[in-house]
Chains A and B, each alone.
Chain A
Amino acid sequence: MSIVSIGVSGLTAAQIALTTSSNNTTNAYTDGYSRQVATFSESASGSGVSISSVSRQYNQFVTTQLNASLSAQSALSTQQTQVDQIDSLLADSDASLDTLMQSFFSAIQTLTSDASDTAAREEVVGAAQTLASQFNQLGSYLSAMGDDVNDQIADQVSQINDLSAQIATLNKQISLSSALGGTSNDLLDQRDRLVSQLSELVDVDVTVQGNGSYTVALGNGMALVSGNDSFELDTRASASDASQVSISYVDAAGNSVALSDSTFDGGSLGGLLEFRNTTLSDTQNRLGLMAVSLTQAFNSLQAQGIDLEGNAGTDFFSVADPVVYGNTANTGDATFSATFSDDVSALSSSDYTVSYSASAGFSVTRNDTGASVEASYDNGTLSFAGLQLTLSGTAQDGDSFLVQPTRNAASSFTSLVSAGDKIAAGTSSGSGDNSNALAMLALQSSDIVAGGSTLSESYAALVSTVGSTATRVAAQLETRSALTEQLTTLQQSESGVNLDEEAANLIVYQQYYQACAKIVEVGVTILDTLLDIN
């Protein structure tokens, strides 16, 4: 082997090394880029050098951990974004619900000081309307959030499908290029970046197959990507609750399998489902419960009183009746219409599931605790927890129904009394009779909500729950972010580009190049010397 060709092999190697280093340098801040290292080895012929490979610095183990952590972080940060909205909604202000309830009762107090005063009566009417509109605003905002969450779920499911398809395509390209013996570092980087994006949406397990292709599966083992194929998720109205979106899996044969929400515990999709099924529905139910309790308590006092014109009092407030959804899988044609019973002290902020079995009849369970609830069925009417459900049609064994007693109560809460003289302040025909107004005033400090707390107490409890949820999510997010940051640092310590390092490499390889060029020059000089002998 000539000196010149040895020098040229060095020049070639140096060029590849310089190219690799330049590529690293230019991609120092590229997301998902893995540092590449040129490996030098002795030439097979025994003289000179060659670049045996340009290898990608990558650690599957750390990456998997990082993706799992990203998934959990994304779930928490999605939840935080949503919970923070409710948190701000309940922030203390002149228009917060507790302030308006106080104004309302304060107006009633003024009425008790002179029951015949029409101005005081109008003030009560006005305060009641303001209170109702604030309840509506909160209720509508929350249900708009619910709609938005359902839209986001659908949107994210389509993103997941998109990413799954792209990963499947890359699987194909990678296995092809590796079969051809080429390196496809950029394709590997792309695929890992897609897996990372997918992890932010949903918690997935990745396994590497022998041919280098990825199998990506959901927590329950159902594959989103297997080899060159991808499988889709689909959204549809939930079987138990027509107002909510549920996710189903479309298998290879094209059959949809409904997935339980608990399948998705990570990723922003998991975060959305968690928020929708806990904080959002709980807040809606609890606000609704306050509206229902206020309505029932006031209306029953109105009914026993007499208004300024000497007539028996009419309803003061109204709320929507409880909602009952029949499961779409029900085989019977039974439907329920629900109303609140006169005594709502047994009402809770939970939803209920009514199931029918041919042997045991109707049974009721609370959805929040799963505990069974005492229910009595009599002549087509099922009574439990302050509710009365009237059956029409026939239920079949295994049928189930979802009861949402107070979900829509806050947004439908309305003040019916539009004229002050309709307020039944007294129990006799005397215009100065304030005895019923005193009873109304006493509701302020009575345990009218779920038989155990005042309106103000139950609002305070709501504030406490939302506040502590927001605090908890923020704390978890902080911990999780710290973990993600550590893992990122770890992952980057292997795969990341350090510019100083690359600068050093550039200097070294540049000198190396110059040295190799010198070899060539020496070789040429030697040749020239030999030729000059003649």
Chain B
Amino acid sequence: MRLSSATIYNQNLASMLNQQSAYQQAALEVSSGTRVSKPSDDSLAASQAVTVRQSIAANEQYADARASITTALSQEESTLDSVNDAITSAMTLVVQAGNGTLSDADRESLATSLQGIYDTLVTLANSTDSNGNYLFAGYQTQSPAFAVNDAGELVYQGDGNVPTQQVSATQTMASGDNGASIFLAVNSTAGFIAQAGDNGGTLTFDGPDIADTSAADYGSGFTLSFSTAADGTLQYSVDGQDPQAYTDGESLEINGLSLTLSGTPAEGDTLTVSKAADADPDVFATLRTLISALQTPVEDAADQAALNNTLSTASRQLSNAQDNVLTVITSVGARLSQVEVLDTIGDDLALSYTERLSGLVDADYTESISRYVTLQVAMQAAQQTFASVQQLSLFEYI
């Protein structure tokens, strides 16, 4: 075909410019290490990269949440360990207080020690994190979990909630526990407790113990009321039913629970047996009751019986409280180890996301550099062709 000079010039020029732009593109890819920066570089990869970056960001968020939850749970764990120690000390003191040879002064000093434990527990219950948030107040993190009200009683001011956090794509986790569930609760396996009323007699009790879980009305609480029959003998009635004769040292079995009673109850004395969970568990109230009992001088057998009964009830309540705290500690530990597992999974995911992103948008250096070199040769060839073709002219010979 006949070629015009302008065509030869334009075609050579265009081919040189195309080579130059491809060369520049390849050079950019090698120098930036990125194959896809604009959507048009590879629309599929660019859009998948958006999704993968989103996954990476979400994964980092979960990791941040886990880091913060780990801090919170670790602090809770160490705080609850101290709570557990405090309750153990209190229980030791209760055992000491049961020693019949102690004087009023000895008990007074035990009471002082218990008051110290009580104060420690209140402080622990009102622990704050590094931001000054109360750990055990539920959502009410700006006010102390426990505070003394106008009536002089220590009451829980928080709520029944626990802040949670999103720790993985599918899982939320509580970042703590509220004060009510730690200090004002017993765990579901806690048994029964007996509490003597404001008795005038010398009635003491042993138990209650579980005797027959298949008995009718098993698990229901009951109240024993003592009275003197017309013939002068002592009798008791269960929840106001017909009175039965009372024998010192007798072992009763009511609602599947066995209870051994001894001593001489006075008219109007009561003994209430209830499920621990139904008896308003409150470790602080238990300690307060205990302290006030130890501060009360023992002047006669009735006082001694009242003290023994209080110690016996308190001993069970403290043990229940400790079980509960240990259960919470176990749950915290379980959460911490779960976070560790999630961390491992998160790290694996992060690695695979990063690899995927790199596969989508990063330049393959072997390929990029070889293309860069090839294009360089091609461009040089185009330049040489241009120069030599332009020299070919018949006018050179005229």
Residues of chain A at the chain B interface (Cβ within 8 Å): 28-29, 35, 83-84, 87-88, 90-92, 98-99, 102, 105-106, 109-110, 112-117, 426, 428, 430-435, 438, 441-442, 444-445, 454, 456-457, 459-461, 463-468, 470-471, 474, 485, 488-490, 492-501, 503-504, 506-507
Cβ-neighbour of B394 out of A99, A493, A504 (below 8 A): A504
Q: How far, in Å, is B16 (CB) from chain A's closest CB?
A: 14
Report the nearest A residue to B138, measured CB to CB: A430
In B1-15, the 8 Å CB interface with A consists of 1-7, 9-11, 14
In the complex, chain B residues whose CB is within 8 Å of the CB of A466:
39-40, 43
14 more contacts with CB within 8 A, not counting A98-B50, A113-B68, are A102-B54, A105-B57, A106-B60, A426-B139, A432-B142, A492-B3, A492-B7, A493-B3, A493-B4, A494-B2, A496-B5, A499-B5, A503-B395, A503-B398
Name which of B80-88, B157-165, B222-230, B260-268 contacts chain A. B157-165
- Nearest B residue to A27 via CB reads B6
Chain A: minimal CB distance from B177 (Å): 13
B4 touches A492 (CB 8 A): yes
Contacts of A28 in B (CB 8 A): 4-6
Interchain CA distance A464-B40 in the complex, whole Å: 8
Contact A432 B46 (CB under 8 A): no
Contact of A102 among B9, B53, B172 (CB under 8 A): B53
Closest A residue to B39 by beta carbon equals A467
Give the shortest distance, in Å, between A208 (CB) and chain B (any CB): 24
> Taking CB as reference atom, which chain A residue is nearest B57?
A102
Report if A497-B5 is in contact (Cβ < 8 Å); known contacts: A87-B38, A433-B139, A442-B166. Answer: yes
Complex contacts, B163 vs chain A, CB 8 Å: 112, 115, 432-434
Q: Are A460 and B47 in contact (CB under 8 A)?
A: yes
Contact with A along B1-37 (1 / 0, CB 8 A): 1111111011100100000000000000000000011
Show 28 A/B contacts (Cβ-Cβ < 8 Å), sorted by A.
Answer: A28-B4, A28-B6, A90-B39, A92-B361, A105-B57, A109-B61, A109-B166, A112-B166, A113-B68, A113-B69, A115-B141, A116-B133, A116-B141, A432-B141, A434-B164, A463-B50, A464-B47, A467-B38, A474-B40, A488-B10, A489-B3, A490-B1, A492-B7, A493-B4, A496-B3, A498-B3, A498-B5, A507-B398
Q: Tell whether, in the assembled complex, residue A29 and residue B9 are in contact, meaning their CB atoms are under 8 Å apart.
A: yes
| Chain B residue, CB-CB nearest to A490 | B1
Query: Considering the chains assembled together, what is the distance between the CA atoms of A24 and B140 in angstroms?
Result: 94
Q: Are A117 and B2 in contact (CB under 8 A)?
A: no
Are B161 and A428 neighbours in the complex by a CB distance under 8 Å? yes
Q: Which of A29, A87, A461, A507 contacts B6 (CB 8 A)?
A: A29
Residue of B nearest to A120 (CB): B131
Query: Which parts of B288-343 form the interface with A (CB within 8 Å)?
Result: none
Q: Please pick, from A99, A430, A465, the residue contacting B159 in the complex, using a CB distance under 8 A.
A: A430
> Residues of A contacting B393 with CB < 8 Å?
499-500, 503
Query: Which residues in A have their C-beta under 8 angstroms from that of B394?
Result: 499-500, 503-504
B169 within 8 A of A: yes
A interface footprint on B54-79 (CB within 8 Å = 1, 0 otherwise): 10011011001100110000000000
CB contacts (< 8 Å) of A98 on chain B: these are 50, 53-54
What's the least CB distance linking A470 to chain B, in Å?
A: 3
CA distance A506 to B49 in the complex (A): 64
Contact of A493 among B1, B11, B69, B172 (CB under 8 A): B1
* Nearest B residue to A118, CB-CB: B131
Quick one: which of B44, B54, B169 contacts A456, CB cutoff 8 A? B54
B139 near A430 with CB under 8 A, answer yes
> Is residue B247 contacting chain A, with contact meaning CB distance below 8 A?
no
Are B65 and A113 neighbours in the complex by a CB distance under 8 Å? yes
Nearest-Cβ distance from residue B357 to partner chain A, whole angstroms:
10
Q: How large, as a class, is the contact surface on chain B?
A: 35 or more
Cβ 8 A contact of A428, one of B48, B139, B169, B398: B139
Chain B interface residues toward A at CB < 8 A: 1-7, 9-11, 14, 36-44, 46-51, 53-54, 57-58, 60-61, 64-65, 68-69, 131, 133, 137-142, 159, 161, 163-166, 169, 172, 175, 361, 393-395, 398
Q: B residues within 8 A CB of A84?
A: 40
Chain A nearest CB: distance from B335 CB in Å?
15
A432 — which chain B residues lie within 8 A by C-beta? 133, 137-142, 163
- Complex: how many Å from CA A14 to CA B175? 103
Q: A106-B61, A456-B54, A496-B7 are in contact. Are A485 and B14 (CB under 8 A)?
A: yes
Q: Which residue of B lies closest to A431 (CB)?
A: B142
C-alpha gap A498/B175 in the complex (Å): 85
Contact assessment for A457 and B51 in the assembled complex, using a CB-CB cutoff below 8 Å: yes
| Chain B residue contacts of A501, Cβ below 8 A | 2
Which 10 pairs, one residue from A and one from B, show the smallest C-beta to C-beta distance? A496-B4, A430-B139, A467-B43, A467-B39, A432-B141, A470-B40, A464-B47, A102-B57, A503-B394, A433-B139
A-B contact count (CB 8 A): 197
The answer to whether A497 and B6 touch across the interface, beta carbons within 8 angstroms, is yes
A contact residues around B5 at 8 Å (CB): 28-29, 496-500
Q: How far is the CB of A105 from chain B (nearest CB, A)?
A: 7
Main SS class of interface, A: helix
Known contacts being A432-B138, A434-B164, A499-B395, is A113 close to B4, with CB within 8 Å? no
Question: For the complex, what is the distance from the CA of A84 to the CA of B37, rounded to whole Å?
Answer: 13
Q: How far is the CA of A179 from the CA of B53 in the complex (A)?
A: 74
Give Cα distance in the complex from A509 to B7, angstroms. Answer: 25
Given contacts A106-B64, A464-B44, whether A438 and B139 have CB atoms under 8 Å apart is: no
Q: Complex: how many Å from CA A125 to CA B311? A: 57
Chain B residues within an 8 Å CB radius of A454: 54
C-alpha gap A112/B164 in the complex (Å) = 8
- In the bound assembly, the distance between CA atoms of A474 and B10 in angstroms comes to 21
Distance of A501 Cα from B5 Cα, bound (Å): 10
- C-alpha spacing A382/B9, complex, angstroms: 65
Closest to A510 in B: B398
Which of A109, A117, A495 lies at the interface centre, i.e. has the most chain B CB atoms within 10 A of its CB?
A109
- Interface pair A438/B165, CB less than 8 Å apart: yes
CB-CB under 8 A from B139, the residues of chain A are 115, 426, 428, 430-433
Q: Is the CB of B165 within 8 A of A112?
A: yes
Separation in Å of the B6 CB from the closest CB of chain A?
A: 5
Residues on the A chain within 8 Å of B165, using CB: 112-113, 434, 438
User: Which residues does chain B contribute within 8 Å of A441, judged by CB atoms?
Assistant: 61, 166
Q: Which residues of A contact B6 (CB under 8 A)?
A: 28-29, 492, 496-497
Residue from the list B11, B36, B175 in contact with A485, Cβ < 8 A: B11
In the docked arrangement, what's the CA distance between A105 and B61, Å?
8
Task: Decide yes or no: A117 and B40 within 8 Å by CB, A432-B141, A497-B6 being known contacts.
Answer: no
What CA separation (Å) do A132 and B256 show in the bound complex?
68
Q: B residues within 8 A CB of A445?
A: 58, 169
Do the beta carbons of A471 and B40 come within 8 Å of each other? yes
Bound form: Cα–Cα A256–B151 in Å: 91
Are A433's CB and B2's CB within 8 A?
no
Residues of chain B within 8 A (CB-CB) of A435 are 161, 164
Beta-carbon nearest neighbor of A92 in chain B: B37
Cβ distance A290 to chain B, nearest Cβ, rounded Å: 12
Residues on A with C-beta less than 8 A from B48 are 460
Residues of B contacting A110 in the complex (Cβ-Cβ under 8 angstroms): 64
What residues on B are CB-neighbors of A112 within 8 Å?
Answer: 65, 163, 165-166
Within the complex, what minimum Cβ distance (angstroms) separates A180 from chain B?
31
A493 contact set on B, CB distance < 8 A? 1-4, 7
For B139, give the chain A residue with the smallest CB separation: A430
A457 CA to B161 CA, complexed, in Å:
34
Chain B residue, CB-CB nearest to A96 = B50
Chain A residues positioned under 8 Å from B53 (CB to CB): 98-99, 102
- Shortest CB–CB separation between residue B131 and chain A, in angstroms? 6
Cα of A355 to Cα of B395 in the assembled complex, Å: 73
Cα separation A525 to B368 with both chains bound (whole Å): 79
When distances are taken between beta carbons in the complex, the residues of chain A under 8 Å from B166 are 109, 112, 438, 441-442
| Cα-based distance from A416 to B85 in the complex (angstroms) | 51
Q: Which residues of B contact A495 (CB under 8 A)?
A: 4
Interface centre among A117, A431, A474 (most CB of B within 10 A): A431
- The distance in angstroms between the C-alpha atoms of A503 and B47, with both chains bound, is 58
Complexed CA–CA distance, A503 and B392 (Å): 12
